[in-house]
Structures are given as structure tokens and as C-alpha cells.
Amino acid sequence: MQSTLILTGIRVAGARHLSSSSFCCRNTFLAAITCLPAATRRLFLTTTVAMAEAKFTKEELQTRLTQEQFNVTQNKGTEAAFSGDYVNEKGKGMYNCIVCGVELFSSDTKFDSGSGWPSFTDIAKADTVKLVEDTAHGMSRTEVTCAKCHAHLGHVFDDGPGPTGQRFCINSCSLKFDKEN
């Protein structure tokens, strides 16, 4: 049985008898790497660098974030379509995590998907996001979270343009846009 594994933002085909839900804990994740084909395992192990985690108290985040930002990033909420600050943003710059500040998406990969949320074809840097299987609300989707602080960002779909074929559909309120000067 073939399945697709989601490894800290990288999809790897060819793994056997595993699903993305296997990676809820680090030990399971590390054990699963041994099941990858040898060439894929070597590539993954030589290119993956662990990102130091950022931890914040609930009280600190409730003080620092708006109610909507807190609900989206900490409770996996979703802002209303076409309501976010960055849906129509056309400026050059970097989109960072509103919680921890890590760079997530470049404006160079942003496009108008018509979905009502900022959409990107790719992440800015490897290992800045984590992809997690999401079966909430009777749907099967792939959730996008910040790899550093685990904030919910949005979801990724396989209907995007360009070479990646991906559409990272991200809540504006989970982002902070740093415009280039």
C-alpha cells in the first residue's frame, strides 16, 4: 500500500503503510523516516534542520493578539472570506507569523486565487511550516501551522498554479506583512 507522507512541509511519495496522522509525536515521526526509500531518507536527513520552538502563555497571547488573531492561531478558527487585511495586498515583502515572527511566505509567491484569503504557491524557507492532516468539519484537508510556535495559519490545497501545484490558503490575521522599502 502506497501513501503520501507529510514531512515538515515536504510531501514525500513512496512510503509504505503510513499516513500523515502518524506524525503526531516525534518518536513516531523519526521511526517512520526509516520506512522511506533509501535515497529519499538520505535527502531528507541531510536537508532537514530542526527549528527551535517558541512557547507563549495563553495570557501573553491574549494580551498581545486581537481576539480574532488569537481565535484563528490558537483555536484553529477561520476569518471571514474577503475580510482580511492582506487579501488584496500587492506590495513586495515578507509575510511573517503574527505569533512568533518567523518568515513564512514571500510576496513573490502570492497570487489571487479568488478564494477570499491570501494565497501563495510556496513557503519562503524550508521547515518554516508544518503540514498536518485535518479531518475536522467532515472534510479531509491539510492544515498549515507555523513550525516554530504551532500557530494555525490556514490550509494547503493541490489546485494552485505554477510548478508546485499548491495553493497555501492563509488567514490574513495569522500574518504580519513586512513591506520592502
Active site residues: 169
Contact by Cβ (8 Å): 62, 70:
yes
- Cα separations in angstroms, 139 against 9, 66, 89: 20, 28, 29
DSSP tag of 109: G
Residue that the C-alpha cell 467532515 belongs to: 138
DSSP tag of 4: E
Angle among Cα 72, 75, 78 to the nearest 5 degrees reads 35
